[in-house]
Structure 1
């Protein structure tokens, strides 16, 4: 390629690239390339230079003076991808169309939106990434942060090797535990101690996270050994790692952290303790909260009465209650909410006449305290992952969209749903869609397990069919349609085939809406079939099985009678 800068060009690579970009933006008539090869026009010389510079930028190492060669790339012991799956990966990575969030998208699938699911399946099977796909995989992960965890897990150790050689991929080192450094195992106590004492913050945080995932007690003991000398911001980050493997064994350490100098550290310690229903802090919060809430039997029917705390004393502050409320919030209601959401939900049964969670939530609450009390119970149910209370606060799926008995918003309902088992979660959302349609269901669908269970998938398809029959454009349902492409069971493609025809349009239909809906359903069906093909391609080959006939040695044929040597002649 003529006119391109040579490997010995003294111009810094970044500045040379900026010059090319500027010339391309302004046009070669206004700014010609810095170097022109005789016989080449300015546009051709610009394209030549850009081609060479692109190769240089994508290479693992930019041209430079001779230096020590990099260490060879590490091996990857994982099994190789099946050939069809490797070809599919190349196709997915080559697509850069990126489906629009709204408006007309056409009938072609958005391949980049299939990449996360492909990566999840490949990682579940434990495959290694093809070496030739690593640059494109790292480029895709650089452009989309949501892809990074799965992409880097699939790319394996060679991605970190490449990232050390190309600044464009340094994000992989930042995302890797300890910046990609190898972490010592729990069975190497001296190496663990040395890294904890001498390592960089990222290495120490990665070490603590790894220990908490495998041996929570060892991670806690390591943190306790240097707790008093850590900086406040580091104490907060380290304390947050205790969420992994959190148990009653952590209570003593967390109780000590309640006396920390940093308010943020104290608040985090209190939150972790409140997630342990058997902790002393939870018991203290229960005493305070139940003192504010009582059952009134003097009226025609039992009701809940609320008397918010008159002050926020030092004990409450030590246990994580923030004294100053946000702007526009009353102090006493703010303190009450914090007490109730930190109190164990199991204690309300005894306080409120032995009633179940569902019966408690159904009780009227005097003096307009119901919204505040129920919202605090919602946060407690989410924090404690209490399915019975979550179920009670959600109410039936036919409840008004604004919220069930306790949920104050659809976002709150989505958090409560996460406490339920996947099958129950899907059934509840299916009932919600059957009652309210799809316009309010997007947040709820996002917490359902993938692929969607058959009742939920059927509810979504039925609701899309109803929306099509209403005669509006499909673009207002683009978010749900995008979720359906990623989350519907591919088996639903058979049911969707009946929706591919363009329906007869009534006079009150939006112009051309039927064609747009047919286009959207065609894209959905094609995407589901692609997902089914991806699953087949990624499936490990079945081990060979011996047929019953092969398992039994064949009978030895009868031997022919001996003949003289010349008898066959």
Structure 2
């Protein structure tokens, strides 16, 4: 049998001669009846509807329907589409990595079988959401260097097809055998597009690099450029420069983005030429990359323009000392437009303020310290700004700190976590800064400590996106701050569903070791006066689900190292239960033996 991309409608052998098909013919002829039709016929019953299958002489309609279902089931489990018999495919490539331990194998089968999640019900109950645990399981398995068992490759590819966020980790775990299998099934072609169909050569083989660059698919060319840039940055840049004028605009944009890794002063000349590109998005990306090269000619030009607009005149003082004066540009000239400044302001923004923000955002941050008498970033940020320009100026510095990945400026602009929300970047204060992105510039431990302090001072209302950029599992005191804030919200009679997003993050991000100390929160408490009716029960369910999920995560991690589980399996799903749709002892696809 040969895998095919679409179902065949070939008739049983003997049909052309008028002979009756025998049992052997029924097994070799691919059925043309979809699985959903077979299921519908079985649910209605053969007495109410004649099944849409061929019935042999002396065979009952029910038996014929069961035979067709059995043949279809075997083909589905083998991950093959029906097709006429043909030569067997070449064997799948070898994958030398160790297979996951038996307990982890059963866990993966359970996670893949729970594709539907918790359903559309607004009340989730106490059961962990297995669909949200699958990404963590895949990441942990990949860290151990395991490969997926052959019998689970079809289910793993189906899950990756349904969820693009799973694809990198799922395909890494599945390995070369999944790519071999994807060649035979139209639904899994995404795996070939994501990984390319050929091995990516390195800079040490220039002939193979040039051949793949000239002939490869777009995904293969992106992977090739990324690989070459890592080992030989100059060779990668020259490879791109050779075909740059003939590339499509959307391709030029993505190719240009690959230069971020290993960006160096040697790339400046190429990026300067890209500033004249006919695509506005390509020009903007080139300008952004040049602004991260602090000694580039572009950075010097933008710094000169920005410094002409933002000054600290000798002796200039406000009510509390020296004061920054701002005079935004009066026009967006041709030089500014060539350097990526967008002339047309968005709706609701003043043109001059819009131009000023772009200039300050692109100017190297270290030159502001020189501009203001050697002051450190925290001292520059502390200076008062005249005429109401403080928010505009500080927001532009925030964008510059994110672009240039400058921790000292990010730290200064964030300030203390206990400051007022508008000073921390809340939009209600007129600021457009993105505090979550600014936090990503800080080291993980400092980031977690800052968010913990913010939650302790302001609660969870404005902290959701900040929590999303913290490293997993959450380090203390962040985890404790989140749990304490949830407990306070419950005691205050708040609506529990208002915190469902934070609770979901806690299930995925809290350290599993915190499960035991959270047991006390699972009890149903007395509802305070004015609380939402039934809120106590909802909160109890949410904390029970949190504790159960943390213990399940601990069990999953223990299974991956072959250690007996330290937690309890999910309710109704024993850890050693076989998966209903993909049993571990199912026969592997042909050629994987």
Which category describes the TM-score, using the shorter chain as reference length? 0.7 to 0.9
For 2:310, the equivalent position in structure 1 comes to 293
Q: Does 1:441 align with 2:463?
A: yes
For 1:555, the equivalent position in structure 2 comes to none
User: Does the aligned pair in 2 maintain the 1:73–1:161 contact within 8 Å?
Assistant: yes
Q: Does 1:349 align with 2:366?
A: no
- Cα distance, 1:254 vs structure 2: 1.2
For 1:501, the equivalent position in structure 2 comes to 523
Task: Give the alignment partner of residue 426 of structure 1, picking from 448, 452, 459.
Answer: 448
For 1:234, the equivalent position in structure 2 comes to 251
Q: Does 1:8 align with 2:25?
A: no
User: Does the aligned pair in 2 maintain the 1:386–1:419 contact within 8 Å?
Assistant: yes
Task: Give the alignment partner of residue 341 of structure 2, picking from 321, 325, 336.
Answer: 321
- Cα distance, 1:158 vs structure 2: 1.0
User: Does the aligned pair in 2 maintain the 1:304–1:366 contact within 8 Å?
Assistant: yes
In the alignment, the residues of structure 2 paired with residue 285 and residue 310 of structure 1 have an alpha-carbon distance, to the nearest angstrom, of 16
Name the CA shift for 1:65/1:394 in 2 (closer, same or farther; >3 Å): same
Name the CA shift for 1:411/1:311 in 2 (closer, same or farther; >3 Å): closer
Matches within 5 A, 1:127-276: 127-176=146-195, 179-276=196-293
Q: Which stretch of structure 1 is more off in the superposition, 494-503 or 341-350?
A: 494-503
Q: Does 1:490 align with 2:490?
A: no
- Cα distance, 1:481 vs structure 2: 0.9
In the alignment, the residues of structure 2 paired with residue 373 and residue 406 of structure 1 have an alpha-carbon distance, to the nearest angstrom, of 16
In the alignment, the residues of structure 2 paired with residue 237 and residue 62 of structure 1 have an alpha-carbon distance, to the nearest angstrom, of 35
User: Does the aligned pair in 2 maintain the 1:473–1:516 contact within 8 Å?
Assistant: no
Q: Does 1:466 align with 2:488?
A: yes
Q: Which stretch of structure 1 is more off in the superposition, 476-485 or 296-305?
A: 296-305
For 2:86, the equivalent position in structure 1 comes to 67
User: Does the aligned pair in 2 maintain the 1:402–1:410 contact within 8 Å?
Assistant: no
Q: Does 1:310 align with 2:327?
A: no
1:125-164 superposed Cα distances (whole Å, 9 cap, x missing partner):
1111111111111111112111111111111111111111
Q: Which stretch of structure 1 is more off in the superposition, 474-483 or 207-216?
A: 207-216
Q: Does 1:284 align with 2:301?
A: yes
Name the CA shift for 1:368/1:184 in 2 (closer, same or farther; >3 Å): same
Name the CA shift for 1:232/1:527 in 2 (closer, same or farther; >3 Å): closer
In the alignment, the residues of structure 2 paired with residue 392 and residue 308 of structure 1 have an alpha-carbon distance, to the nearest angstrom, of 24
- Cα distance, 1:83 vs structure 2: 2.0
User: Does the aligned pair in 1 maintain the 2:318–2:384 contact within 8 Å?
Assistant: no
SS across alignment from 2:324: strand
- Unpaired runs of 5+ in structure 1? 542-569
- Cα distance, 1:405 vs structure 2: 6.9
- Cα distance, 1:507 vs structure 2: 4.5
For 2:389, the equivalent position in structure 1 comes to 369
Name the CA shift for 1:487/1:298 in 2 (closer, same or farther; >3 Å): closer
Task: Give the alignment partner of residue 103 of structure 2, picking from 71, 84, 93.
Answer: 84
In the alignment, the residues of structure 1 paired with residue 88 and residue 433 of structure 2 have an alpha-carbon distance, to the nearest angstrom, of 54
In the alignment, the residues of structure 2 paired with residue 5 and residue 324 of structure 1 have an alpha-carbon distance, to the nearest angstrom, of 70
In the alignment, the residues of structure 2 paired with residue 341 and residue 515 of structure 1 have an alpha-carbon distance, to the nearest angstrom, of 49
Q: Which stretch of structure 1 is more off in the superposition, 224-233 or 65-74?
A: 224-233
Q: Which stretch of structure 1 is more off in the superposition, 149-158 or 397-406?
A: 397-406
- Cα distance, 1:307 vs structure 2: 1.2
In the alignment, the residues of structure 2 paired with residue 170 and residue 484 of structure 1 have an alpha-carbon distance, to the nearest angstrom, of 35
In the alignment, the residues of structure 2 paired with residue 507 and residue 311 of structure 1 have an alpha-carbon distance, to the nearest angstrom, of 60
Matches within 5 A, 1:517-536: 517-536=539-558
User: Does the aligned pair in 1 maintain the 2:299–2:362 contact within 8 Å?
Assistant: yes
SS across alignment from 2:312: strand
For 1:126, the equivalent position in structure 2 comes to 145
Tell which structure's C-alpha radius of gyration is larger: 1
In the alignment, the residues of structure 2 paired with residue 25 and residue 361 of structure 1 have an alpha-carbon distance, to the nearest angstrom, of 71
- TM-score, normalisation: structure 1: 0.86
- Cα distance, 1:253 vs structure 2: 1.7
In the alignment, the residues of structure 2 paired with residue 322 and residue 48 of structure 1 have an alpha-carbon distance, to the nearest angstrom, of 67
User: Does the aligned pair in 2 maintain the 1:208–1:241 contact within 8 Å?
Assistant: yes
- TM-score, normalisation: structure 2: 0.82
SS across alignment from 1:328: coil
Higher relative contact order (CA 8 A, sep 6+): 2
1:451-501 superposed Cα distances (whole Å, 9 cap, x missing partner):
101100110111111122123442221111111111101111121012122
Q: Does 1:401 align with 2:433?
A: no
SS across alignment from 2:219: helix
In the alignment, the residues of structure 2 paired with residue 31 and residue 277 of structure 1 have an alpha-carbon distance, to the nearest angstrom, of 76
